[in-house]
Amino acid sequence: MQIQWFPGHMNKARNEVKAALPKVDLLIEVLDARIPYSSENPMLRELRGDKPALKVLAKSDLADPQLTQQWLEWHERKDGVKAKAITTDNIPLIRSIPSLCAKMLPHKQGEGSRIMAMIAGIPNVGKSTLINALAGRTVAKTGNEAAVTKSQQRINIANGISLLDTPGMLWPKIENPGSGFRLAAVGSVKETAMEYEDVAAPIMKYLLKYYPDRLVDRYGLDDVPTDMLEAFDTIGAKRGCLGKRGLVDYERVCKIVITELRSGRLGPITLETPELIETELAELEVELAARAKEKSERKLKRKATFKARNQRT
């Protein structure tokens, strides 16, 4: 499954974030705690330069607490920035963010000086919800991503911190195919750009490996299914997803599993582990190298053909 992102959109998003950065002292990058690697924007580190940053793993109520801890450590180690898990309905946790930001910029503390912060992240990670939670009132529209508001109001939050009311919009990871289906599974890809079956099949394989008991509990199964197909067949039958001739309607059962996963009804689940990502990245490197080799061989062949043809004339 490949996410379609157009270079024009990506450039526009990058330019908007770039334009806002000079006014900003600190960047808060929001990630989805269920996919703490795949919801990261590959470009942001380069864009922010030396500017202090805080990574926030939002929706941690939907994620596996043990893996959230591992991912926080992973991000802090990799980027040398502070990382924090939040859920937007936990007010004390939200209140700790401004004081954390203030501590990151000690030289900016003092009378009259304010710290300007900007929230950035890919669609659907919880940026607007976080802005509203920090502001203590509704200033940003949540849910469906609206067109970028041009206003960019400053909102005073706490501890001498001001926040831009419009989040920086970024695009998701597009090279790693594994990231693609996980982004779709949590709802960061438009429904029209995905097929439930393409998303649910690899997700089911992951669930069978990492969370088999949750499947057994949720769907009242007698045993852990031996493979992905058996899982959909059994769950489909249990949920009455039978089509013609009593065969399981895979589209329907796939949609049920993805919907229940998204809403947290399968329990708190994280869809990637640091080890899994390391493996995928190593595989991706091999594939990209193979693609590059193929491309350069094609180029050489074309040159040789051109040369041979034109020597004869």
Ligand X SMILES: Nc1nc2c(ncn2[C@@H]2O[C@H](COP(=O)(O)OP(=O)(O)O)[C@@H](O)[C@H]2O)c(=O)[nH]1
- Site for ligand X, rule CB under 6 A: 58-59, 61-62, 87-88, 121, 123-129, 142-143, 145
48 binds, among ligand X, Mg ion, none (CB under 5 to 8 A by kind): none
Cα–Cα distance between 110 and 287 in angstroms, integer?
52
Per the CB < 8 A criterion, the answer to whether 164 and 152 are in contact is: yes
Using CB under 5 A as the binding rule, the residues of this chain from 54 to 93 that contact Mg ion are none
Answer yes or no whether residue 38 interacts with Mg ion by CB under 5 A.
no
126 binds, among ligand X, Mg ion, none (CB under 5 to 8 A by kind): ligand X
Contacts of 129 (CB under 8 A, 6+ apart): 58, 88, 142
DSSP 47-97: HHTT--EEEEEE-GGGS-HHHHHHHHHHHHHHH-SEEEE--TT-HHHHHHH
Q: What are phi and psi of 45, to 5 degrees?
A: -60, -45
* Residue with smaller CB distance to Mg ion, 128 or 270: 128
249 binds, among ligand X, Mg ion, none (CB under 5 to 8 A by kind): none
* Residue with smaller CB distance to Mg ion, 61 or 145: 145
Minimum separation from the CB atom of position 140 to Mg ion (A): 6
Answer yes or no whether residue 128 interacts with Mg ion by CB under 5 A.
yes
Per the CB < 8 A criterion, the answer to whether 230 and 173 are in contact is: no
Minimum separation from the CB atom of position 201 to ligand X (A): 25
123 binds, among ligand X, Mg ion, none (CB under 5 to 8 A by kind): ligand X
Answer yes or no whether residue 132 interacts with Mg ion by CB under 5 A.
no
Going from the C-alpha of 48 to that of each of 14, 62, 114, 175, the distances in angstroms are: 11, 29, 19, 22
Number of other CB atoms surrounding residue 4 within 10 Å: 10
Tell me the number of residues near Mg ion by CB under 5 A: 1
**Comparing C-alpha atoms, which of 159, 167, 198 is closest to residue 182?**
198
Pattern of binders to Mg ion over 86-125, x per CB under 5 A?
----------------------------------------
- Which residues are at the interface with Mg ion (CB under 5 A)? 128
